[in-house]
């Protein structure tokens, strides 16, 4: 199952609400979405979210490290966040819409994986450009090459801008072609797309009734 993702202040409430459901709680940490707070503050936020019951942590990288080519600083930042996560799985958000080039996306993907990320994720959903298929191809080929080189398996999460079932199918097809069926499971591939649920509900209703409902008929519209 995918996780319910909340800000740190809501982690404890989400854990209580989902108790016994088998649905994990993820926390967006490290000064989401900008990631500009001091590193010590970001690490403390991670530790507090884990203490409150989050089993997954989404971190945001410092984009400046990528744009200035300071790969050591990026590695050390992500590694410190991973250590602060303890047993919690860590998804590293690259904010690819801010990274300017696909080369930067590829390099940032490699550094994030080398620093211990369990997932790499395209976007916070707040950037001007979020998940795209070209960026996805670059990131999942980095995942494939990293596995071939190290034996380590890293998950992938496109986020933002995926609002229809047809959009989602394009990403699923790309994952299957590049990484195979093993990646088509929630511990290795997820969507970050809150509006996608409404369209999936509409498609299911159309399949059953032959008619599309108004978006307002669905809770997530």
CA distances from 107 to 161, 170, 175, 205 (A): 23, 24, 20, 43
Q: Is 142 left (phi over 0), alpha (psi -120 to 50) or beta?
A: alpha
Q: Of 58, 118, 167, 199, which residue is the catalytic one? A: 58
Active site residue 157: yes
Q: Of 82, 118, 121, 199, which residue is the catalytic one? A: 121
CA–CA distance, 186 with 203 (Å, rounded to integer): 21
Nearest to 1 by CA among 191, 215, 193, 167: 191
Active site residue 58: yes
Q: Which residue has the tokens 């047993």?
A: 87
Strands (E), the chain: 4-7, 25-28, 56-60, 89-93, 119-121, 155-157
DSSP character for 122?
S
Active site residue 91: no
Q: Of 118, 157, 167, 199, which residue is the catalytic one? A: 157
Distance linking the first and last C-alpha atoms of the chain: 21
List the catalytic residues: 58, 121, 157
């Amino acid at each position: 199952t995918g996780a319910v993702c909340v800000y740190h202040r809501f982690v404890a409430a989400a854990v209580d609400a989902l108790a016994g459901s088998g649905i994990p709680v993820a926390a967006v940490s490290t000064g989401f979405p900008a990631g500009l707070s001091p590193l010590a503050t970001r690490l403390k936020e991670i530790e507090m979210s884990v203490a409150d019951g989050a089993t997954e942590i989404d971190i945001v990288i410092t984009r400046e490290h990528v744009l200035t080519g300071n790969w050591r600083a990026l590695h050390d930042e992500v590694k410190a966040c991973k250590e602060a996560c303890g047993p919690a799985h860590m998804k590293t958000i690259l904010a690819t819409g801010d990274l300017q080039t696909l080369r930067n996306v590829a390099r940032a993907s490699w550094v994030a994986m080398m620093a211990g990320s369990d997932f790499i994720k395209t976007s916070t959903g707040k950037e001007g450009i979020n998940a795209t298929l070209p960026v996805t191809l670059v990131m999942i080929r980095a995942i494939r090459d990293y596995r071939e080189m190290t034996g380590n398996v890293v998950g992938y999460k496109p986020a933002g801008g995926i609002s229809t079932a047809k959009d989602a199918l394009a990403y699923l097809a790309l994952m299957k072609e590049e990484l195979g069926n093993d990646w088509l499971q929630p511990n290795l591939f997820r969507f970050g797309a809150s509006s996608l649920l409404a369209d999936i509900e509409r498609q299911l209703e159309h399949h059953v009734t032959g008619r599309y409902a108004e978006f307002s008929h669905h809770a997530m519209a």
